[in-house]
Amino acid sequence: MTSQTLTPVPLVPNAAGVDLTAALATPTNVNLTFINSGREFLAVAAGATSETVQLDIGVTILGQAVANFTAVPITNAHTVLFGPFTAQVDQAGTQTAEITLSTTTAITVALIQFTPVV
């Protein structure tokens, strides 16, 4: 299966912020992957049509696959923020999370990574 690996945009404490509009980009694949540190948030903006977003569950229980959550519908012209993501969603033996979109048409995404404050 092919996928597009997303690179996070850091949300730095006490900084100028993240221009979410500029960070949003059209995906090149319906399968999105990223390294999951537990600090990532995925912004998904639906354009002229409704879309769905599905978080793919990577964990197994006693060797048995776990069913994915139901796909989340996004109404056209809405932006939805997903995350943070727990380690249970990572693909087996990795720190890679996977999201499946219903389409790459009229949709933009951005991976934002929160930096904790100490």
The pLDDT score that the predictor gives to residue 26 is: 97
The pLDDT score that the predictor gives to residue 20 is: 93
Q: Which amino acid is at 60?
A: T
- For domain 4-114, give the CATH number: 2.60.290
Mean pLDDT value across residues 22-27: 96
**Would you tell me how many other CB atoms lie within 10 Å of the CB of residue 76?**
12
How far is Cα 50 from Cα 48, in angstroms, rounded to an integer?
7
- Binning pLDDT at 50, 70 and 90, where does residue 110 land? very high
If DSSP states are collapsed to H, E and C, what string results for 58-111? CCEECCEECCCCCCEEECCCCEEEECCCCHHHCCCCCCEEEEEECCCCCEEEEE
Assessment of whether the complete model's pTM goes beyond 0.95: no
The pLDDT score that the predictor gives to residue 63 is: 83
Mean pLDDT value across residues 90-112: 94
The pLDDT score that the predictor gives to residue 106 is: 94
